[in-house]
């Protein structure tokens, strides 16, 4: 028989056969929409560094969220924009039962009880210094003191009705402490999504603008607790520790620059692997789209499909609202 016996192009000959032989698919079930919430009523603000994304009060958010939920969007992740008057060195507002996140969770779960509501468990929106932990006079992050605050924050979210609490702080041992506290208070069905492999990345800049922590953080670094971008094996250790402590799902953050970490994690662990297409990734992609360098829908869908190919089970993406409508017009 003459060469070539195998022609890989046979399965690329038409759109129909390409669809039939496609290995990975993106569906609305893969999407988690990260949203920035404001206190008050009938409020929305644009975010200069994230064109197309808004900060919203919960009533405005619900107006957008309800039709998306009807089209199949299953989950959101809430990130609060906290006024400076509620920020302090000890972040006590983080576990206020009548705080912004707690009130937002109650409102959304009342209106859309089947929607999965994920809350960010971290102190940086509430600290006057912008760090994810409580600090001493020398500016050092106090790991175990911070954990006590995170436990109270997570419990307040669970009591408000959050389906999933997502510790994003990277303190050592916080997953086990939060799991123990949830069980003790009989929040048995509250899942933990651990930000297990969260890197000290430059790609978080627009997010910090969005939640208003950039000014508080200033030129300070989070490198003493977030991971070194040069390290891969360390990420596997972090994920394994969080699963052992009771994490139900794990997160790799940022997303696309760390697809190798996602792939390795999927190969090693039998829990859902989530990834965050973070604000800097969004800003770069949207800038190219807005300048006419890339076609929006094709570029976004290809980027998200790459997450699926790497092994991601769920993707936090600021494009979730648009993608939901593209997938289910």
Query: Catalytic site residues?
Result: 198, 253
Comparing CA positions, the residue from 184, 307, 156, 313 lying closest to residue 246 is: 184
The structure tokens listed for 9 are 């192009």
Q: How far apart are CA 325 and CA 162, in angstroms?
A: 25
Handedness of CA 12, 16, 22, 27 (dihedral sign): positive
Q: Binding site for Mg(2+), residues? A: 238
Q: Binding site, residues? A: 238
Q: How far apart are CA 227 and CA 107, in angstroms?
A: 35
The structure tokens listed for 88 are 């302090």
The residues near 77 (Cβ < 8 Å, ≥ 6 apart) are: 32, 33, 34, 35, 118, 119, 120, 166, 316
Is residue 37 within 8 A of residue 18, CB to CB? The reply is no
Q: What is the CA radius of gyration of the chain?
A: 20
- What would the DSSP string read from start to end of 209-244? HHHT-HHHHTT---TTTSBPTT-SHHHHHHHHHHHH
The residues near 317 (Cβ < 8 Å, ≥ 6 apart) are: 31, 32, 33, 34, 276, 277, 282, 304, 323
Is residue 149 within 8 A of residue 157, CB to CB? The reply is no
């Amino acid at each position: 028989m003459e060469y070539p016996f195998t022609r890989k192009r046979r399965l690329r000959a038409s759109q129909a056969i390409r669809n039939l032989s496609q290995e990975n698919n993106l569906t609305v079930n893969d999407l988690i929409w990260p949203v920035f919430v404001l206190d008050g009523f009938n409020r929305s603000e644009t975010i200069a560094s994230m064109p197309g994304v808004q900060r919203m009060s919960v009533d405005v958010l619900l107006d957008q969220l309800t039709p998306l939920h009807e089209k199949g969007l299953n989950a959101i992740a809430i990130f609060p924009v906290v006024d400076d008057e509620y920020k302090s060195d000890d972040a006590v507002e983080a576990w206020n039962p009548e705080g912004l996140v707690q009130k937002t969770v109650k409102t959304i779960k009342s209106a859309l009880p089947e929607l999965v509501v994920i809350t960010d468990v971290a102190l940086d929106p509430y600290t006057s210094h912008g760090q994810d932990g409580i600090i001493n006079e020398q500016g050092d992050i106090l790991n175990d003191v911070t954990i006590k605050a995170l436990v109270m924050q997570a419990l307040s979210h669970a009591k408000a009705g959050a389906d999933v609490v997502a510790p994003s702080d990277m303190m050592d041992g916080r997953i086990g402490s939060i799991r123990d506290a949830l069980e003790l208070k009989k929040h048995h069905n509250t899942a933990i999504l651990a930000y297990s492999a969260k890197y000290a990345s430059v790609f978080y800049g627009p997010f910090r603008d969005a939640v208003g922590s950039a000014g508080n953080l200033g030129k300070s670094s989070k490198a003493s607790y977030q991971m070194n971008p040069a390290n891969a094996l360390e990420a596997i250790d972090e994920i394994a520790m969080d699963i052992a402590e009771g994490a139900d799902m794990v997160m790799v953050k940022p997303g696309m620059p760390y697809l190798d970490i996602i792939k390795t994690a999927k190969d090693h662990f039998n829990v859902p692997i989530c990834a965050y297409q973070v604000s800097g990734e969004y800003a770069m992609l949207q800038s190219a789209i807005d300048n006419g360098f890339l076609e929006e829908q094709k570029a976004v869908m290809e980027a998200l499909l790459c997450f699926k190919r790497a092994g991601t089970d769920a993707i936090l993406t600021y494009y979730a609202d648009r993608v939901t409508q593209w997938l289910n017009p």
